[in-house]
Structure 1
Amino acid sequence: MSFTNIPILDLSLARSSETKPIFLDQLRHALLEVGFLYLKNIGIAQELIDNVVEEGVKFFDLPLEEKTKIQMVNAPSFLGYSPLSAEITAFAIDQREQIDLSTPHPIPSPPTPSITTSSRPISGPPPRTSRTSAPLIAEAIGLPANAFERFFDADQQHKLKVVKYPDLKELGLRPEQQGQGVGPHKDSMLTSYLLQVGEKRGLQAQNLRGEWIDCPPVAGTLVVAIGQGMEALTKGVCMSTTHRVLSPVYGGGPRYSIPFFQGVRGSTRFEELNEVGIGEVKEEIREMRRKVLESVGESRVMWMWEREMVSRNPCGHKGTAGGGEKAKEVFNLKPTSLPSQYLTFIGEAKRSHSNIQSLVYTASQDKFSHAYVDIKQIFLAQIASLLVKRHCISPSHAPIARSSFTN
């Protein structure tokens, strides 16, 4: 029971009492078995979408000296411009150029007028779509429509990227080579809404058999990816799926995408998440999710789990005996066990363009349950992850955190 295509859901069905049950049934399947879906008839005017695309793509035509004025490496907010090859995912360079934006907040100094003009139109429709989807996700898994409402208010912290992926020719690669636009990852926030610009392919999602499934652009849709935040919020009932982007084919020109990442209010503490989730989800829904996991076999799940953990240690022994037990040992560590000296690497984390936002996974008797910790603990765990990646510190001394915001 592992998906071989990405379902397309019609949001207009949710607007009618007669067809809403059909939509919720389709959404439930996507949440429990895929973690990815296309959403059409989203209620956003095409003219507005076209304007967002035009202004977003136009940003990359600015002179390099203009773009570097707001380079992320110089910003205290982890927002701004990142040039080509500035990030690493899964130990390989991401071949993309991008600008990271967020919901309005005070900034140390204003960006240049040209950049402000380019980015302003991007801040409207996605939040409305995400607020529409959250109650539907809750209903699809048997929760009240307002189950997640407590996490949303005027202080929500959303993020948005405008991304350019150069083709193989521009990257200086051969036609037969495969370029990494962005490596395999999961998004860490609640849900992501991706606008794929044009017809160029590249986005792929990985099913539980480890196969990469193409997610080609479909006109009039947004791609919705369930994030680790939603997976944690529902304690594993909703599925967050690993995905990646391949560089466009040789000579085909660049691929552009505009992903929006739904966040929660800035004051949210992860202890609050225990008030919503698997304890309130109906047993029949939980059983559906268990059957999805069982369908791929216990050995397959453990293999993927071991691969996730061991492959994150550059000095480790990938595939060695006992890796599964080591993975569980690492998962069981709590962020509070981190030495205070890890804080000294905050500066390096910033300079390295690391994405400092994730959820920390913890194994208990139920392999798919999660630990909920406050933001400070999460941040410390991410610094520890950086040490593992860059300084060959054994993962037995530091919890592993996942990167994020990387469509």
Structure 2
Amino acid sequence: MSELRKVPKLSLKEYQNPETQAEFAHQLYSGLSEYGFVVISDHGIGQEVFNQAYELSQKLFDLPLEAKSQYETGSGQRGYISFGKESAAGNPYPDLKEYWHVGPELAEDSDYKTEYPDNVWPKEVEQFQPFFTKLYSDLNSVAETLFLALAEAMDLDRNFFTQMISEGNSIQRLIHYPALTGLEVGNSIRAAAHADINLMTLLIGATDSGLELLDRDGNWLPVENQEGDLVIDTGDMMARLTNNQLPATIHRVVNPKDGSKPRYSIPFFVHPRNSVTLECIEQFKSNGSNDAPITAGEFLDQRLRENGF
């Protein structure tokens, strides 16, 4: 039966229609409960925007290493992170990728302006800063809508999640998986099996296949999406809040049979404010909570250390 399983696909238009809103919320919750993943269409960000995002990403990663390295902050939270730097928690083999992090652009009077690292912007890539600042905002808006739907499905206060992510430490990651031709791959793959750290991830459909999730039957299931879709998954922070009812599903990016082409991917990792306490929601405590309360900032720092930072 497992070969028939498939990550559900939902249209965000259904949530914007009062007649189908409740059903969308239910399907979003049930899909994330069963798979930890859903695919979302009709979210309002055009494919032409995604195309431009990948064009600018390619220009960034095509820069000489010397140029990119000047933007490597060492924190793992902003700017450039060089090839082979990150490994999945508990995995001694580095992932076959390099990437770039964009965080929030906060108001000067924000309480978190000095707490979060500042963004760094590559001066060599024209339009990079305004484009990805706008895309960050657009993806955050989609996330807010999805969180309203989840709150409805869980019978929580409508703004339960959106309050958490207001001025949150969310991260937009631009990933380049280089062509494997000529690389000494060893035991590494493009992204080793891992769960995301955050509440929720919105992934712009990658330029090539390779994403797989570990389903409840213990099988690796390819995550399929079409142009323009967003792939949604829940992370460790959401698993802590829901006592694993919405799981942090293990996933990976496998090496292709034809390693001659690079792969680009852009996930948007939705984080709460650092000061938010991650504590099991009351309705999920019936079997006892598996995790002690911890702030989002403390949890992020802990996981970054596990990933090599």
Give the shorter-chain TM-score range: 0.7 to 0.9
Asked if 1:168 corresponds to 2:180, the answer is yes
CA distance in 1 between counterparts of 2:293 and 2:308 reads: 17
Computing the radius of gyration from Cα coordinates, the structure with the larger value is 1
Distance 1:119 1:181 in 2: 27
Whether 1:144 and 2:157 are equivalent positions in the alignment is yes
Q: Which segment drifts farther, 216-225 or 116-125?
A: 116-125
Shift of residue 205, structure 1, vs aligned partner: 0.4
Aligned partners of 1:371, 1:246: CA distance in 2, in Å?
Answer: 34
SS at 1:29 equivalent: helix
2:82 alignment partner AA: P
Superposition map of 1:299-318 within 5 A: none
User: Given residue 291 of structure 2, which amino acid in structure 1 is its aligned partner?
Assistant: H
Partner-residue secondary structure (3-state), 1:92? coil
Distance 2:98 2:80 in 1: 8
CA 1:78/1:140 → structure 2, altered by over 3 Å: closer, same or farther? Answer: same
Q: Is 1:214 aligned to residue 222 of structure 2?
A: yes
Q: 1:101 to 1:167 in 2, by over 3 A?
A: same
Take 1:60 and 1:239, find their aligned partners in 2: how far apart are those partners? 33
Structure 1 partner of 2:169: 157
Q: Could you tell me how far apart the structure 2 residues matched to 1:381 and 1:87 are?
A: 14
In structure 2, stretches of 5+ residues that fail to align are 106-112
In the other structure, the counterpart of 1:228 is 236
Could you give the per-residue CA deviations for residues 75-118 of structure 1, whole angstroms, max 9, x where no partner exists? x5732212221222222220011112211256679644225742
**1:54 and 2:55 matched:** yes
Deviation at 1:370, TM superposition (A): 1.9
SS of residue paired to 1:113: coil
After superposition, the Cα gap between the structure-2 partners of 1:131 and 1:251, relative to the gap in structure 1 and judged at 3 Å, is same
CA distance in 2, matches of 1:180, 1:369: 31
Equivalent-residue separation in structure 2 for 1:127 and 1:373 (angstroms): 24
More displaced 10-residue stretch of structure 1: 253-262 or 240-249: 240-249
CA–CA distance in structure 2, aligned partners of residues 381 and 82 of structure 1: 18
Q: Which residue of 1 aligns with 2:202?
A: 193
Greater Cα shift, 137-146 or 182-191? 137-146
How far 1:245 moved relative to its partner?
A: 0.7
User: Residues of 2 paired with 1:376 and 1:197: CA distance?
Assistant: 29
Q: Out of 273, 291, 295, which is 1:374 matched to?
A: 295
Residues 69 and 111 of structure 1 are in contact (CA less than 8 Å); yes or no, is this contact kept in structure 2?
no
Partners of 2:196 and 2:41 in 1: CA distance: 21
Instruction: Give the aligned residue type for 1:234.
Output: T
Higher helix content, 1 or 2: 1
C-alpha RMSD over aligned residues: 3.1
Which residue of 191, 204, 208 corresponds with 2:212? 204
Note if 1:113 corresponds to 2:113: no
* Inter-partner Cα distance in structure 2 for 1:100 and 1:127: 15
Displacement of 1:140 in angstroms is 2.0
CA distance in 1, matches of 2:301, 2:55: 39
Distance 1:145 1:32 in 2: 19
CA distance in 2, matches of 1:94, 1:109: 24
CA distance in 2, matches of 1:243, 1:216: 13
Cα distance, 1:17 vs structure 2: 1.5
Judging changes above 3 Å, is the alpha-carbon distance between structure 1 residues 149 and 127 closer, same or farther for their aligned structure 2 residues? Answer: closer
Shift of residue 376, structure 1, vs aligned partner: 7.2
Alignment of structure 1 residues 332-347 onto 2, 5 Å: none
How many residues align? The count is: 294
Query: Among the aligned pairs, what percent are the same residue?
Result: 26
Conserved 8 A contact 1:188-1:404: no
- Summarize the Cα distance change of 1:108–1:267 in structure 2 as closer, same or farther, 3 Å threshold: closer
Residue 244 of structure 1 is matched in structure 2 by 252
2: CA distance, partners of 1:115 / 1:156: 27
Match of 1:269 in 2: 277
Map of 1:5 onto structure 2:
6
Q: Provide closer, same or farther for how the CA distance between residues 380 and 202 of structure 1 changes in structure 2, counting only shifts above 3 A.
A: closer
Give 1:195 shift.
0.9
Name the aligned partner's letter for residue 144 of structure 1: D
Equivalence for 1:180: 189
Q: Which amino acid aligns with 1:166?
A: P
Task: State the secondary structure of the residue aligned to 1:95.
Answer: coil
What is the TM-score of this pair, normalised by structure 2? Answer: 0.83
Q: Deviations over 1:339-381 (max 9, x none)?
A: xxxxxxxxxxxxxxxxxxxxxxxxxx74x63211236764785
Tell me how far 1:57 sits from its aligned partner.
2.2
State the SS of the aligned residue for 2:52.
helix
Q: 2:80 maps to what in 1?
A: 81
Aligned CA distance change for structure 1 residues 171 and 144 (closer, same or farther; 3 Å): same
Contact 2:103 2:119 in 1 (8 A): no
1:125 and 2:124 equivalent?
Answer: no
